[in-house]
Chain A
Amino acid sequence: MKVRLLDIAHARSGDKGDTANVGVIANRPEWFPLIARELTQERVTRHFAGMIEGEVDRFELPNLNALNFLLHGALGGGGTLSLKTDAQGKVYSTALLRMMLDVPDAEARALGLPSA
Chain B
Amino acid sequence: MTERVVRVASGQGFWGDSLDAPRQQVENGPVDYLMLDYLAEVTMSILQKQKERDPAMGYARDFVGAMDSVLDAVTERGVRVVANAGGVNPPACATAIQGVAKKCGKSLRIGVVTGDDLLPRLNELVEQGHALAHMETGEPLETVRDRVLSANAYIGSRPIVEALSRKAQVVITGRSTDTALTMAPIRFEYGWKDTDYDRLAAGIVAGHILECGAQSSGGNCQYDWRNIPDLANVGYPIADAYEDGSFVVTKHPNTGGRVSVQTVSEQLVYEMGDPHGYITPDVIADFSTIRIEDAGPDRVRVFGIKGYAPTDKLKVSIAYKSGYKAVGTLVYSWPDALEKAQLADRILRERLERLGLRFDEILTEFVGASATHGPLAGDAGRNAPEIQLRVGVRSDDRATVERFTREIAPLVLNGPPGVTGFAGGRPKVEEIVAYWPALIDKTVVQTHVEIV
Q: Which residues of A contact B (CB under 8 A)?
A: 10-19, 21, 23-25, 27, 47, 49-51, 57, 59-66, 68, 70, 76-81, 83-86, 91, 93-95, 98
Chain A residue numbers with a CB within 8 Å of B267 are: 12
Known A-B contacts A85-B371, A91-B373, A93-B222; the reply to A14 vs B365 at CB < 8 A is: no
Chain B residues within 8 Å of chain A by Cβ, number: 48
* Contact (Cβ within 8 A) A63 B367: no
Within 8 A of A (CB), among B267-305: 267-276, 287-292
Known A-B contacts A12-B220, A83-B325; the reply to A51 vs B273 at CB < 8 A is: no
* Contact (Cβ within 8 A) B434 A80: yes
B140 contacts chain A at the CB level, 8 A cutoff: no
Question: Quick one: closest B residue to A14, CB to CB?
Answer: B271
Question: Quick one: closest A residue to B212, CB to CB?
Answer: A14
B212 to chain A, nearest CB (A): 9
* Contact (Cβ within 8 A) B270 A14: yes
Chain A residue numbers with a CB within 8 Å of B287 are: 61, 64
* Contact (Cβ within 8 A) A91 B372: yes
* Contact (Cβ within 8 A) A95 B376: yes
Chain B residue numbers with a CB within 8 Å of A60 are: 288
Bound Cα distance A58, B190 (Å): 37
Chain B residue numbers with a CB within 8 Å of A11 are: 222, 266, 269
B299 to chain A, nearest CB (A): 18
Stretch with Cβ within 8 A of A (4 or more), from B58-66, B153-161, B196-204, B388-396: B388-396
Report which of B271, B365, B392 forms a contact with A21, defined as CB distance below 8 A: B271
Report which of B266, B393, B435 forms a contact with A10, defined as CB distance below 8 A: B266
Bound Cα distance A19, B272 (Å): 11
Known A-B contacts A23-B266, A79-B434; the reply to A84 vs B363 at CB < 8 A is: yes
* Contact (Cβ within 8 A) A51 B269: no
Bound Cα distance A13, B51 (Å): 33
Question: Quick one: closest A residue to B134, CB to CB?
Answer: A17
* Contact (Cβ within 8 A) A23 B392: no
Q: Which residues of B contact A (CB under 8 A)?
A: 41-42, 135-136, 220, 222-223, 262, 265-276, 287-292, 322, 325, 327, 361, 363, 365, 367, 371-376, 390, 392-394, 432-435, 437
Q: List 7 A-B contacts (CB under 8 A).
A: A10-B266, A25-B269, A51-B376, A61-B275, A80-B432, A80-B433, A94-B222
Bound Cα distance A113, B401 (Å): 52
* Contact (Cβ within 8 A) B322 A17: no
Most buried by B among A19, A23, A76: A23
Chain A residue numbers with a CB within 8 Å of B275 are: 59, 61, 68
B93 to chain A, nearest CB (A): 24
Most buried by B among A11, A63, A95: A63
Chain A residue numbers with a CB within 8 Å of B223 are: 10, 25, 27
Question: Quick one: closest A residue to B365, CB to CB?
Answer: A85
* Contact (Cβ within 8 A) B273 A81: no
Chain A residue numbers with a CB within 8 Å of B375 are: 49-51
Known A-B contacts A61-B275, A64-B292; the reply to A86 vs B322 at CB < 8 A is: no
Known A-B contacts A12-B266, A47-B376; the reply to A85 vs B272 at CB < 8 A is: no
Going nearest first, the 3 A-B pairs with the smallest beta carbon separation are: A23-B269, A83-B392, A14-B271
* Contact (Cβ within 8 A) B435 A79: yes
Bound Cα distance A15, B262 (Å): 21
A9 to chain B, nearest CB (A): 9
Bound Cα distance A29, B107 (Å): 53
Known A-B contacts A12-B222, A21-B273, A91-B372; the reply to A64 vs B432 at CB < 8 A is: no
* Contact (Cβ within 8 A) A83 B272: no
B38 to chain A, nearest CB (A): 18
Question: Quick one: closest A residue to B135, CB to CB?
Answer: A17
Most buried by B among A62, A83, A94: A83
Report which of B222, B265, B367, B376 forms a contact with A64, defined as CB distance below 8 A: B265
* Contact (Cβ within 8 A) B325 A64: no
* Contact (Cβ within 8 A) B42 A80: yes
A65 to chain B, nearest CB (A): 8
* Contact (Cβ within 8 A) A16 B271: yes
* Contact (Cβ within 8 A) A12 B269: yes
* Contact (Cβ within 8 A) A63 B434: no
B384 to chain A, nearest CB (A): 16
Bound Cα distance A79, B325 (Å): 13
Bound Cα distance A39, B439 (Å): 33
